[in-house]
Amino acid sequence: MLNLKVEASINDQINAELYSAYLYLSMSAYLETENLPGFASWMRVQFQEEQAHAMKFFDFVNERGGKVILDAIEAPKTEWGSVVEVFEHTLDHERMVTERINTMMDIALEERDYATESFLRWYIDEQVEEEAAAEAILSQVERLDGHGNGMIMMDRELGARVFTPIAE
């Protein structure tokens, strides 16, 4: 049986993951309007990943005999001043998600819920990758100042990314 304090933190995270998906879809829409289809596609893959993360939490709660509670999803930002600003927001958001996952791990350890601790390790590793990817792209677009032929090349490169479902 899932500990109630742990269950509440996971339910909160399900909502946060769905918000993340919504945010990345909004970023994708913005990047489309900026005529950067590759960047937009990269964000669409982020959207799909965040949905998968939410469902992984969703399934875990159900597998442990808990109850999933879905809340309203806050409307995301829809406008940014530049591609650099989009990726600054992305990195800040991923750092916030990392803090949330770390807090969930603290709760699992405090409640001696070792199954949840084991489950959360995947997310901790995933957040290292998420932050590194956002930081790398931000660094590149900053160097290019969000303009020029380098942006065209980056757009093509980022457009090649495809969604890979989470391995069970």
Is residue 152 assigned to a domain? yes
Is residue 136 assigned to a domain? yes
Q: Average pLDDT in the 29-54 region?
A: 97
Calpha distance 93→101 (Å, rounded): 12
**DSSP labels, 120-163:** HHHHHHHHHHHHHHHHHHHHHHHHHTT-SHHHHHHHHHHHT---
Over residues 44-85, the pLDDT tens digits come to 999 999 999 999 999 999 999 999 999 999 999 999 999 999
Question: Residue 88's pLDDT is what?
Answer: 98
Question: Percentage of the chain with pLDDT > 90?
Answer: 93
The whole domain housing 30 covers 4-68+79-159
For residue 151, what is the domain's CATH number?
Answer: 1.20.1260.10
Number of domains, the chain? 1
Given a cut of 90, is residue 124 above it in pLDDT?
yes
Given a cut of 80, is residue 167 above it in pLDDT?
no
Question: Residue 168's pLDDT is what?
Answer: 66
Q: Which residue has the tokens 């998420």?
A: 130
Is residue 74 assigned to a domain? no
Is residue 107 assigned to a domain? yes
Q: Average pLDDT in the 31-38 region?
A: 97
Is residue 167 assigned to a domain? no
Is residue 9 assigned to a domain? yes
Is residue 103 assigned to a domain? yes
Is residue 151 assigned to a domain? yes
